[in-house]
Amino acid sequence: MIEIKGLNLVTRETLLYESNMKVEKGTVYGLSARNGSGKTTLLRTISGLRSESIGSISIEDDNKMFSLSAKKNSLFYFETVEWFDSNLSGWDYLKFVQSTWKNHNQKTIKEMILFWDMKNYIKLPIKKYSLGMKQKVLLSMYGVSGADYWLLDEPTIGLDTNSVEKFKSFILESKESGKSILFSSHQNDSLYAVCDYIYEIENQSLHLLQENQTEE
């Protein structure tokens, strides 16, 4: 479980004030807010890419609490396809993640290539990819990482309708295997239907819906 206690999220302004969050294994969470409310900043902070002076973020494992740095390979976050080096290939990135995370429950690269139908382009330079192709590589990196906790920022950008449906099945299958998944998207997105819970950022606070109201 990832646990956030009393977190202040501050950039040029205070985005969150004394906020709390729990992200349990085997559960899918949505993160909903209007643009500019702090969704991406929160994901960056949970991932350890940035820090805050007020509040704590820790990971519980076997009834013991650990810092993010102590359990860094149990979490995976790759914010956007803009992070890709266009001269490398999707294959390069999948191999890098596989060799760096080294978790026992990793999906194989072959499984991910077959699932997203990337065989014809996975070894080409990324500069030759469409946005949808890049996004499929990004999503495949999560499966290949084998990480227990997935943080995704608007994960269906660039995907066509069929690929969005595949993403939903990918998320639900990963949940069944015990993954903890937190993803952001725009407000009222139908994608939230796969979530067990939704966190909303409103009035500088995180609010947890006790049930997924998008299913009503």
CATH of the domain at 191: 3.40.50.300
Kindly state whether residue 139 falls inside one of the protein's structural domains: no
Summarised one tens digit per residue, pLDDT across range 143-171 is: 999 999 999 999 999 999 999 999 999 99
Kindly state whether residue 114 falls inside one of the protein's structural domains: no
- Our count of domains for the chain comes to 1
Residue span of the structural domain in which 165 resides = 2-83+148-215
Could you tell me if 164 and 134 are in contact, meaning their C-beta atoms sit under 8 angstroms apart? no
pLDDT confidence of residue 91? 98
Summarised one tens digit per residue, pLDDT across range 51-101 is: 888 989 999 888 888 988 888 889 999 999 999 999 999 999 999 999 999
Kindly state whether residue 194 falls inside one of the protein's structural domains: yes
**Position 216 pLDDT exceeds 70:** no
pLDDT confidence of residue 64? 87
Summarised one tens digit per residue, pLDDT across range 130-145 is: 999 999 999 999 999 9
Lowest mean pLDDT among 89-98, 119-128, 161-170, 198-207: 198-207
pTM for this prediction: 0.91
Kindly state whether residue 101 falls inside one of the protein's structural domains: no
Distances (CA, A) of 93 to 68, 109, 143, 191, 200: 23, 10, 12, 26, 32
pLDDT confidence of residue 214? 47
Kindly state whether residue 44 falls inside one of the protein's structural domains: yes
CA–CA separation, 98 vs 50, rounded Å?
A: 24
Kindly state whether residue 176 falls inside one of the protein's structural domains: yes
Could you tell me if 191 and 157 are in contact, meaning their C-beta atoms sit under 8 angstroms apart? no
Kindly state whether residue 189 falls inside one of the protein's structural domains: yes
**Position 210 pLDDT exceeds 90:** no
Kindly state whether residue 56 falls inside one of the protein's structural domains: yes
